[in-house]
A and B are shown apart, each in its own frame.
Chain A
């Protein structure tokens, strides 16, 4: 029997090895071999994650934590950090999602990318991403987490700009990287502040000593860390990179920009629940940002016509909902929604990819419609995902969303109303998308229409498995009100237990919960009916840009946030750069220098009669120096 420590350390090492093998032989490996290596390494990591998980489940709650030290990384008298892994209930859950969903998306990519000339490069990046993502969630200290954090950002950059001949895609990649870096600076400074105050960057040490620190310090730390989460998890004001990130291949959107990387912020805040629970201001900030983002992104999604853009804004909105949960101190609810979201959002993206694949790259839902006849499997899996995200029982999204809403109600009914509004908007735009894509009139163009075909099995099988998970995923945390056992809450309790002592839990009566559920469900059904009436009965197709007026026009243009950012930051910076260079640098500083230089040259004109050139001047100075030295010596000696 191999030791568990070895197995745990193999989980991230295998995808790394896969990356190295493929990357170093990128021009020689056949497509079959490279996809076999890429998928195989992730599959083994998944199996190892399962082994680890089942081991943890078998332990008593307080023992559910394994630390594995690999090597020291930075080790000096002033600072030390090691490469060490921490597997506890939270990270073990993340491991299952990353390797499990990651494996399915890898398999899907075999079919999706089969024609692409960058096939091997694609799989090498994907494996590298999985490695960094695993590092992020397995790290036992902040700095190693930061390695994973920046690493996934790099992979995101590489994969958004995967089709590098298109400068629009490259710009999207740059935008993603730079916006993330703004957040990363916050995170990095947070880590430094932790080190300054705790003299350690180990989670364990920090959490154990957190309650002894003053609240102002903890607020600074948690707010700085949260700035990192805003970048990575696309929250206001750093969310505009995510919709643009859809430039990458669709499997990338599914894995990185829906299921895993963008949830890193949620993971990080949940991981630091001890610190956040000690700082009411930070929690309030998380809540406010979460609610605002959930609503803002949901309204934008109402007016988009690009299938991937709709899903992207939906992701931003759902992430906002997760932060609502975290901001309420309902860490389990946030993590629970993250897990179910990983299933159904990956499924939505992959199904959308299947549609795009079938329509030869078409992404505009105004040129789709009636596809259920041609794509029966995709239609079914997409439908499951729509039901799941809309919160129809017993699909996965119902339970996780319900838990967040219930906790919001317990905190403040106003928060509940806003969160409910965001999820009702979600229902509307998802059914809008669903009806316009699969039902109604066939609006595909003639040439495209002839070639519509269902995707190959390598794509259909992952879709089916994800559909199954989107169906049953919610059962991992069925509340007591519905005769469940809240298994996930119990499993994660060792991680979130310490934070619970801060009086943030509001227990609702079962009756209240039933009333809330009934309200939400009734409203959901009404919204679906409205969408049905509009898009099927009346057969309305979204208008183009010119026909929209007033608020619709503004929302269609995403509130012009991109334009405002462009004006305020991008162009302003470019202008500043020009002014600094031409005015301050050339006209002030350098001119002064040259004037001083001219003065010296002018005065050395006299000397030049004796000396032949500038080197002479130099030697002259040296000699003067020595003479001064000698004279001074004699003078002082005489004194």
Chain B
């Protein structure tokens, strides 16, 4: 029942806000999202780390088509549900001081978005997964279109069509798999798994690219990324937070649950190609990030670089890569949220995101500067911050997969320092520019949002075990599939 609650509660709230249009929509949304998070925490507390696929809810939905309403939370889902439900209250809270026009619509859409995200992370039926997957696109599209910045119509349309095109390939692949299931066909994940694994290596390869394309666009992996910097930059900050903090993890989740276990043979034969793309993305996006004048755009490219490493590690199909990817997804969500929030705070005060026009912010805003520094340290994966654990495990998996790719991917720790410290220097240090001479330090409200983030950065960095252990059993299950598959091939 908790699974059902956690899925539908945001939708209920969204409807309430949308229909009743209360004046304090943001407060209702906030309280509701906190409640949702508390339930997620309750699930964590009661979670049985040794088993997987607990908290399942499964009823037939369209029996004639073999579609069922099947959701469950295993360790992998739980981590992503935790990330989603944990980040949404922060996103809502961060918006309190700069309210969007038409707040009822705005917060209702955010809550719908949350519902769709939780749905993606818990669905165990291919059709249901697809429904949630597409459903997540609608609210974020409107959020960007209605509340976005300059040139939003073109950019959001491009984003929309791009991701939609990817999803179509996924739909076709899922339908193909559906018709491979025995009897009267089924979208149940086990049936899909069996169908996919029963295919020849060549067919698996074709399906692999159909599914991977959808996920790769979402993350995004090079060269399917060009919608991302524009969309991140033009979206209102809450939209950017949703996109980078949570929504891109849909892509990774897809790879973990709906790609690698479905066509393991196809995945391992195409792994090198996909990993090379990911690693190219790391270097490519890092290099472009160095050249960015707008800090928000810089974070967007940095995100592509970090995403590339997660994707590369995941695609090695090793335990260490899986665990690294999972913990890095959580860390990336937290850090991306904080970076975009800090960018927004500076923008609100100076009306500028141009790195060169700022400078000397530290003189008047030492607390903001310190928090910013800590978030940067997490982003560039300094040990004992949340960013390091995942990056180390991921590099480990990549390096053992291929030494050269490991070295190439490893350059992210150098590039990250280059573009982040450069931006930090010219925004925060030096003498105050006219635009930054009167900036105020963090308000108590902003501290309320950022201090917990800072604490999380260190807690996850120093004691990541609780998070790592949640997914251990579920990861083992998937790895068993890989080993039996490769054994069968021999």
Residues of A within 8 A of B (CB): 71-79, 143, 146-147, 150-151, 154, 157, 161, 164-167, 170-171, 174, 177-178, 181-182, 184-185, 188-189, 192-193, 195-196, 573-574, 576-578, 580-581, 584-585, 589-590, 593-594, 596-597, 600-601, 614-615, 618, 621-622, 625, 628-629, 632-633, 636
Are B226's CB and A636's CB within 8 A?
no
Within B154-189, the residues touching A (CB, 8 Å) are 157-158, 160-162, 164-165, 168, 171, 175, 179, 185
Is B16 positioned at the interface, with any CB of A under 8 Å from its CB? no
Query: In the assembly, what is the distance between CA of A571 and CA of B472, in Å?
Result: 46
B288 within 8 Å of A by Cβ? yes
* 6 CB < 8 A contacts A-B: A73-B462, A143-B383, A590-B226, A597-B158, A618-B164, A636-B179
Is B414 an interface residue, CB under 8 A from the partner? yes
Q: Within the assembled complex, what's the spacing in Å between the Cα atoms of A585 and B286?
A: 13
Contact yes or no, A167 B382, CB < 8 A = no
In angstroms, Cα B93 to Cα A253, docked, is 44
Beyond A165-B431, A580-B284, A618-B164, is A79–B223 a contact (Cβ under 8 Å)?
no
Interface pair A174/B422, CB less than 8 Å apart? yes
Q: Is the CB of A79 within 8 A of B396?
A: yes
Contact A76 B468 (CB under 8 A): yes
CA distance A147 to B384 in the complex (A): 7
Q: Shortest Cβ distance from A268 into chain B, in angstroms?
A: 15
Q: Is B257 an interface residue (CB 8 A)?
A: no
State whether B226 touches A78 (Cβ < 8 A): no
CB-defined contacts of B57 to chain A, threshold 8 Å: none
For B429, give its contact among A170, A181, A590 (CB under 8 Å).
A170
Check B430 against A151 for contact (C-beta < 8 Å): no
Which residues of the partner chain B approach A601 to less than 8 Å between Cβ atoms? Answer: 161
Selected from A170, A193, A596, the residue in CB contact (under 8 A) with B425 is A170
Bound complex: CA of A171 vs CA of B411, how far in Å?
Answer: 21
B322-363 at interface with A (beta carbon < 8 Å): 323, 360, 362-363
Contact A74 B468 (CB under 8 A): yes
Name B375-403 residues within 8 Å CB distance of A: 377, 382-384, 389, 392-393, 395-396, 399-400
A186 to chain B, nearest CB (A): 9
B136-167: which residues lie under 8 A (CB-CB) from chain A? 137-138, 141, 157-158, 160-162, 164-165
A628–B288 CB distance below 8 A: no
Q: What A residues does B287 contact at CB under 8 A?
A: 573, 576-577, 580
Contact B414 A178 (CB under 8 A): yes
Closest chain A CB from B378 CB (angstroms): 12
Q: Which residues of A contact B468 (CB under 8 A)?
A: 74-76
Q: Report whether A189 and B407 are in contact in the complex, using a CB–CB cutoff of 8 Å.
A: yes
> Using Cβ atoms and an 8 Å threshold, which residues of chain A touch B417?
177-178, 181
- Chain A residues closer than 8 Å to B395, beta-carbon distance: 188-189, 192
Instruction: Point out the residue from A150, A594, A600, A614 that lies within 8 Å of B383, measured CB to CB.
Output: A150
Query: Which residues of chain A are within 8 angstroms of B179 by Cβ–Cβ distance?
Result: 632, 636
Task: Tell me which of A177, A593, A636 contacts B162 (CB under 8 A).
Answer: A593
Chain A residues with Cβ below 8 Å from B472 are 76-77
Residues of B with C-beta under 8 A to A71: 463
Given contacts A74-B468, A164-B362, 16 further A-B contacts (CB under 8 A): A75-B469, A76-B320, A78-B319, A150-B382, A154-B382, A178-B417, A185-B410, A189-B399, A192-B392, A196-B399, A578-B291, A580-B288, A600-B161, A600-B165, A614-B161, A618-B160
Tell me, in angstroms, the Cα distance from A195 to B162 when the chains sit together. Answer: 41
Expressed in whole angstroms, the Cα–Cα distance for A585 and B469 within the complex equals: 40
Residues of A within 8 A of B164 (CB): 618, 621
Task: Give bound CA distance, A590 to B220, whole Å.
Answer: 14
B168 x A621 contact (CB < 8 A): yes
Residue total for B at the interface (Cβ-Cβ under 8 A): 65
Is there contact, CB below 8 Å, between A184 and B396? no
Q: Smallest CB-CB separation from B153: which chain A residue?
A: A614
Q: Which of A177, A593, A622 has a CB less than 8 Å from the CB of B226?
A: A593
Write out the residue numbers on chain B whose beta carbons fall within 8 Å of the beta carbon of A154: 377, 382
Residues of B within 8 A of A188 (CB): 392, 395, 410, 413
- Report the bound CA distance from A611 to B223 in whole Å: 31
Nearest Cβ on chain B to A571's Cβ, whole angstroms: 12
Expressed in whole angstroms, the Cα–Cα distance for A164 and B425 within the complex equals 9
Q: Give the residue name and chain of the A residue nearest to B473 (CB).
A: A77
Q: How far is the CA of A601 from the CA of B164 in the complex (A)?
A: 13
Cβ-closest chain A residue relative to B160: A614
Q: Given that A585-B226, A594-B158 are contacting pairs, would A167 and B429 also be in contact in the complex, using a CB cutoff of 8 Å?
A: yes
> In chain B, what residue has the closest Cβ to A175?
B421
Q: Is the CB of B290 within 8 A of A574?
A: yes
Q: How far is the CB of A182 from chain B (nearest CB, A)?
A: 6
Mask of B59-97 contacts with A, CB within 8 angstroms, 1/0: 000000100000000000000000000000000000000
Whether the pair A76, B469 counts as a contact (CB closer than 8 A) is yes
Main secondary structure on chain B at its contact with chain A? helix
Among residues of B, the one whose C-beta sits closest to the C-beta of A636 is B179
Check A78 against B393 for contact (C-beta < 8 Å). yes
* Shortest Cβ gap from B295 to chain A (Å): 16
Q: Is the CB of A181 within 8 A of B414?
A: yes
Query: What 1/0 flags go to B446-479 for Cβ under 8 Å of A?
Result: 0000000000000000111100110010001000
CB nearest neighbor in B for A628: B175
Which chain A positions have C-beta within 8 A of B190?
A: none
> B291 — which chain A residues lie within 8 A by C-beta?
574, 577-578, 580-581
B396 and A185 contact, CB distance less than 8 A:
no
Which residue, A188, A584, A636, has most C-beta atoms of chain B within 10 A? A188
> Is there an interface contact between A75 and B465, defined as CB atoms closer than 8 Å?
yes
Within 8 Å CB of B227, what residues of A?
593
B264 within 8 A of A: no
| In the complex, residue of chain B having the shortest beta-carbon distance to the beta carbon of A26 | B366
| Bound: A625/B411 CA distance, A | 43
Once the chains bind, are A143 and B320 in contact (CB under 8 Å)? no
Residues of A within 8 A of B465 (CB): 72, 74-76
Bound CA–CA A77/B138 (angstroms): 39
Q: Are B383 and A151 in contact (CB under 8 A)?
A: yes
A189 to B400 CA separation, bound complex (whole angstroms)? 10
Shortest beta-carbon distance, A184 to chain B, in Å? 7
In contact, A193 and B399 (Cβ under 8 angstroms): yes
Docked pose: A157 CA to B463 CA in angstroms:
25
Given contacts A581-B288, A614-B157, whether A189 and B320 have CB atoms under 8 Å apart is no
Q: Contact between B175 and A632 (Cβ–Cβ < 8 Å)?
A: yes
Smallest CB separation, A27 vs chain B (Å): 8
B425: A residues at CB distance < 8 A:
167, 170-171, 174
Kindly state the separation between the CA atoms of A15 and B160 in the bound complex, as whole angstroms: 53
> B186 CB to closest chain A CB, in angstroms?
12
A189 contacts across to B, CB distance below 8 A: 395, 399, 406-407, 410
Closest Cβ neighbor of B432 among chain A residues: A165
Identity of the chain B residue whose Cβ is nearest the Cβ of A576 in the assembled complex = B287
Is B418 in contact with chain A by the CB < 8 A criterion? yes
* Residues A165 and B430 in contact, CB atoms below 8 Å apart: yes
Q: Is the CB of B360 within 8 A of A165?
A: yes
What chain B residues lie within 8 Å of A584 (beta carbons)? Answer: 284
- Asked if residues B430 and A167 are in contact (CB atoms below 8 Å), the reply is yes
Q: Are A577 and B290 in contact (CB-based, < 8 A)?
A: yes
Q: Within 8 Å CB of B411, what residues of A? A: 185
Complex partner residue of A74 from B65, B175, B464, CB under 8 angstroms: B464
Interface: B134 (CB within 8 A): yes
State whether B421 touches A178 (Cβ < 8 A): yes
B319, A77: Cβ atoms closer than 8 Å: yes
Nearest CB of chain B from residue A210's CB, rounded to whole Å: 19
Which residue from A78, A143, A581 sits with its C-beta under 8 Å from B323? Answer: A78
Whole-angstrom CA separation of A584 from B281 in the bound complex: 13
Sorted nearest first, the 9 A-B pairs with minimum C-beta distance are: A577-B291, A147-B383, A78-B320, A590-B226, A78-B319, A164-B429, A577-B290, A76-B468, A170-B425
Closest-by-CB residue of A relative to B171 is: A625
Task: List B contacts of A79 (CB < 8 A).
Answer: 320, 323, 393, 396
CA distance A161 to B422 in the complex (A): 13
- Contact among A74, A150, A178, A585 for B389, CB-based, below 8 A: A74
- The reply to whether B429 and A165 form a contact with Cβ atoms under 8 Å apart is yes
Residues of A within 8 A of B421 (CB): 157, 174, 177-178
Q: Are the C-beta atoms of A573 and B290 separated by less than 8 Å?
A: yes
